[in-house]
Amino acid sequence: MNYKIAVLPGDGIGPEIVEQAVKVLKAVAQKYNHEFSFTEAPVGATAIDQTGSPYPDETHRICMESDAVLFGAIGDPKYDNDPKAKVRPEQGLLAMRKKLGLYANIRPVTTFPSLIHKSPLRRDLVEGADFVVIRELTGGIYFGEPSGRSENGEKAYDTSIYSKEEVRRIVDLAFDYARKRNKRLTVVDKANVLATSRLWRETVQEMVPDNKEIEVDYMFVDNAAMQIIQWPKKFDVMVTENMFGDILSDEASVITGSLGLLPSASVGIHTSVFEPIHGSYPQAAGKNIANPLATILSAAMLLEALDLTDEAAAVRKAVDESMDQGVVTEDIAQDKAASTSEVGDWIAGAIS
């Protein structure tokens, strides 16, 4: 079967790590008799340099016409250090989410036995931790209007807005994930303070009778932040609003020991996007030292989304073997480090 995959390398280390994931997908296609058609398109600072837009119309067209999007990273220091820049790379990410209708970010948080020693938490706390953070992507304070500043510049304001429809949509997805896992769902909010959180909690409570097989608990965001550190094995599936999810998923990612190992998916009403959770790491760009495993594992999530579950399992198995045999980049190497491209070649070879 032929699958169309849009490839958006983006900025910094994006092109290097995405190249390795494409290698792996090509190895999968060869072994399992699939055909993947890859179409590359610019996004982020690269796209601004080429077109003036961080998410050009042509890039969007390619994404809409594809079965999935493999995405690298966005961000460039020249924009970070220019407070007067009117167009920024990160605006491309927000535009992509909005135009593709990406309402849910899925972040698996999985510990790897060979990397437990790199976690900031004690082995007994983190060993065996395995949960999923589901973050709502299109509502909340990042998109609420009005926002701005007073005329004298002394005050600023942002508005958080959610509708019941938006909450139901993301929580439906969270129930589905919980159903396929251990049937436990934690809803994270701040219902003791925020009206939007009270709407979330009320809406979830209305949905519980139709999902009786799922054990649901509610947790204030400050408590959730503590318990991710104190007892990460407590969680199975966590669902929350945009800003809370942004913060908690980053916090959760650190406990595994390496940001370079965690994939993510953003799903919605059009084409889904698969990307590593780390940033563009411009300091490493072009040096062939960046860890490609999170991007390769994102490619495994992409395969699962296409119902290619055996193929996804083969990718994960090859990644596990690469770590067991020490074929890893300098961020996690205990002895001699492999380069970005060497890791990609090894995993593609293991699959073939």
Tens digit of each residue's pLDDT (9 = 90 or more) over 129-138: 999 999 999 8
Same domain, 18 and 141: no
pLDDT digits (tens, 9 = 90+) for 176-186: 999 999 999 99
| Structural domain ending residue among the three candidates 217, 246, 268 | 268
Whichever domain contains 6, its CATH number is: 3.40.718.10
Question: How many Å apart are CA 7 and CA 1, to the nearest integer?
Answer: 19
Confidence class for position 339, pLDDT limits 50, 70, 90 = very high
Question: Is it the case that residue 143 has pLDDT exceeding 90?
Answer: no
pLDDT digits (tens, 9 = 90+) for 159-181: 999 999 999 999 999 999 999 99
Same domain, 275 and 337: yes
pLDDT score recorded for residue 245 = 96
Question: How many Å apart are CA 167 and CA 245, to the nearest integer?
Answer: 14
Rg of the chain over Cα atoms, rounded to whole angstroms, equals: 20
| Structural domain ending residue among the three candidates 217, 250, 268 | 268
pLDDT digits (tens, 9 = 90+) for 182-239: 999 999 999 999 999 999 999 999 999 999 999 999 999 999 999 999 999 999 999 9
Backbone angles phi, psi at 109, to 5 degrees: -115, 105
Q: Kind and range of the H or E element at 59?
A: helix 57-64
Same domain, 147 and 34: no
Mean pLDDT over 304-328 rounds to 94
Which one is catalytic: 4, 98, 99, 142? 142
Same domain, 260 and 114: yes
Whether 307 is catalytic is no
Question: Is it the case that residue 91 has pLDDT exceeding 80?
Answer: yes
Single-letter amino acid, residue 107? R
Angle between helical axes of 309-324 and 14-32 (0-180°, round to 10): 120
Question: Is it the case that residue 113 has pLDDT exceeding 90?
Answer: no
| Structural domain ending residue among the three candidates 268, 284, 317 | 268
Question: Which candidate, 215, 250, 247, 212, places its Cα nearest to that of 234?
Answer: 215
Same domain, 68 and 115: no
Mean pLDDT over 56-63 rounds to 98
Whether 142 is catalytic is yes
In the chain, the percentage of residues whose pLDDT exceeds 90 is 84
Same domain, 124 and 232: yes
Which one is catalytic: 79, 246, 281, 331? 246
Confidence class for position 31, pLDDT limits 50, 70, 90 = very high
pLDDT score recorded for residue 212 = 96
Mean pLDDT over 83-102 rounds to 88
Single-letter amino acid, residue 314? A
Which one is catalytic: 190, 236, 281, 331? 190
Backbone angles phi, psi at 136, to 5 degrees: -70, 135
Dihedral sign, CA of 107, 111, 115, 119?
positive
Dihedral sign, CA of 137, 139, 141, 142?
positive
Question: Is it the case that residue 78 has pLDDT exceeding 90?
Answer: no
- Domain hosting 166: range is 103-268
Question: How many Å apart are CA 58 and CA 155, to the nearest integer?
Answer: 39
Confidence class for position 112, pLDDT limits 50, 70, 90 = confident
Same domain, 275 and 198: no
Mean pLDDT of the chain: 94
Q: In what order do the strands lie in the sheet with 273-276?
A: 35-40, 2-10, 68-73, 273-276, 263-268, 102-110, 130-136, 237-240, 184-189, 215-220
Question: How many Å apart are CA 339 and CA 327, to the nearest integer?
Answer: 9
Paired sense of beta strands 35-40 and 2-10, if any: parallel
Same domain, 141 and 153: yes
Whether 246 is catalytic is yes
- The answer for residues whose C-beta is within 8 angstroms of residue 66's C-beta and 6 or more apart is 4, 5, 6, 39, 271
Contacts of 149-156 with CB under 8 Å at 24 or more apart are: none
Whether 183 is catalytic is no
State in Å, rounded, how far the first CA of the chain is from the last one. Answer: 18
Which one is catalytic: 57, 80, 82, 250? 250
Same domain, 179 and 258: yes
pLDDT score recorded for residue 253 = 87
Same domain, 95 and 125: no
Query: Would you put residue 128 in left (φ > 0), alpha (ψ -120 to 50) or beta?
Result: left
Pseudo-torsion of CA 97, 20, 254, 238, nearest 10°?
A: 50
pLDDT digits (tens, 9 = 90+) for 318-337: 999 999 899 999 988 878 99
Number of folded domains in the chain?
A: 2
Same domain, 185 and 258: yes
pLDDT score recorded for residue 294 = 95
Confidence class for position 338, pLDDT limits 50, 70, 90 = very high
Which one is catalytic: 57, 80, 82, 222? 222
**Residue of 105 and 331 predicted with greater confidence:** 105
Mean pLDDT over 253-259 rounds to 80
Same domain, 165 and 65: no
Chain centroid offset of residue 59 CA:
20
144 near 160, Cβ under 8 Å? yes
